[in-house]
Amino acid sequence: MRLSEASDRYLATGTQEGYSPHTILAYRLQHQILIRDLGDVELALVTLDVGANANCHHFG
Give the pLDDT score at 58. Answer: 61
Q: Which residues contact 31 (CB under 8 A, 6 or more apart)?
A: 3, 7, 10, 11
Decide if 17 contacts 60 (C-beta within 8 A). Answer: no
Cα–Cα distance for residue pair 1/26, rounded to 1 Å: 22
Q: Which pLDDT value is given to residue 42?
A: 95
* pLDDT tens string 17-49: 999 999 999 999 999 999 999 999 999 988 888
**Residue 12 is which amino acid?**
A
**Residue extents of the structural domains in the chain:** 3-59
pLDDT at 59: 57
pLDDT at position 41 is 95
Reported pTM: 0.80
Predicted confidence at residue 20, as pLDDT, reads 97
